[in-house]
Amino acid sequence: MKVCAYIGDGKMFRTTTRTKILNAALELFSNNGYRATTTRSIAEKAGVNELTLFRNFETKENLLKAVLDHNFNVEDIRESAPTSWTGDPEKDLETICGLISDNLSEREAIIKLMLREQANNEIVHEKLHVMPALMKDFIVGKVKEALSPHAREDIDWDTAGVFLASHFIRSRMWGAMLGEDPFHSSERDHIKFVIDIFLNGILKEEGSI
């Protein structure tokens, strides 16, 4: 049975059944691997029958694609991003860092799945070719938007954005593989240190023209 709900102007979307299947598939794919996970085990985990799974996704491959799209949707991240800034570079950068950190933390299972499957699964491999570029464009845009009024004129924004994002991506990759980042005990504690290093390289010096 599909449970439906209405949002906004009467648009209907399926929630419970589809989401349960996606969540179950993500957990089993990331822990056991795509090939070792059966559609029957996913259906059992989701609390539905296997026929319901196939009615929603038709094939196991389609289910994997849906899991990847559902759990790494850049548009969801865009919607959670601020549209205005305080004008204080440190505060605004802290907001951006928190946004990156929180979103990657929420997606640790999908990162684990991608790391596990990227070498031998074409669907995951193709997604990994597209997803980083989308994330980079988003992060670079937000960093430039918030900091350009205060920045040196010679800043390469692509490099600056990638430098900032790569710190958090690396931390989440370690977390996905080992359960923790071996280089830092608490990400929240060291965000301010990352910001300090970043700002000292990007902002104009005091009294500069």
Q: What is the pLDDT of residues 75-90, one digit of tens each?
A: 878 888 888 999 999 8
pLDDT of residue 205: 58
Q: How many angstroms separate the CA atoms of 40 and 196, rounded?
A: 50
Q: Which of 53, 69, 85 is the last residue of a domain?
A: 69
Q: Is the per-residue pLDDT at 188 higher than 50?
A: yes
Query: For 27-41, what is the mean pLDDT?
Result: 96
pLDDT in tens, 99-135: 888 888 888 899 889 888 988 999 999 888 887 788 8
Q: Which of 69, 94, 118 is the last residue of a domain?
A: 69
Does any domain span residue 186? yes
Cross-strand pairs, 4: 14
CA atoms within a 13 Å half-sphere pointing along the CA-CB vector of 163: 14
pLDDT of residue 173: 75
Q: Is the per-residue pLDDT at 203 higher than 90?
A: no
**CATH code for the domain in which residue 139 is found:** 1.10.357
pLDDT of residue 67: 96
Structure tokens at 111: 């990162």
User: Within this chain, do residues 29 and 101 fall inside the same structural domain, yes or no?
Assistant: no
φ/ψ of 36, rounded to 5, equals: -80, -10
- Asked if 3 and 18 count as a contact pair (C-beta separation under 8 A), the reply is no
Q: Which of 51, 69, 87 is the last residue of a domain?
A: 69
* Structure letter (DSSP) for residue 25: H
Does any domain span residue 209? no
| % of the chain at pLDDT higher than 90 | 35
pLDDT of residue 61: 97
Q: Mean pLDDT across the chain, nearest whole number?
A: 82
Q: How many angstroms separate the CA atoms of 196 and 190, rounded?
A: 10
Query: For 32-49, what is the mean pLDDT?
Result: 97
Enclosing domain of residue 8: 4-69
**What's the domain count of the chain?**
2
pLDDT of residue 2: 42
User: Within this chain, do residues 56 and 154 fall inside the same structural domain, yes or no?
Assistant: no
Length of the chain counted residue by residue: 209
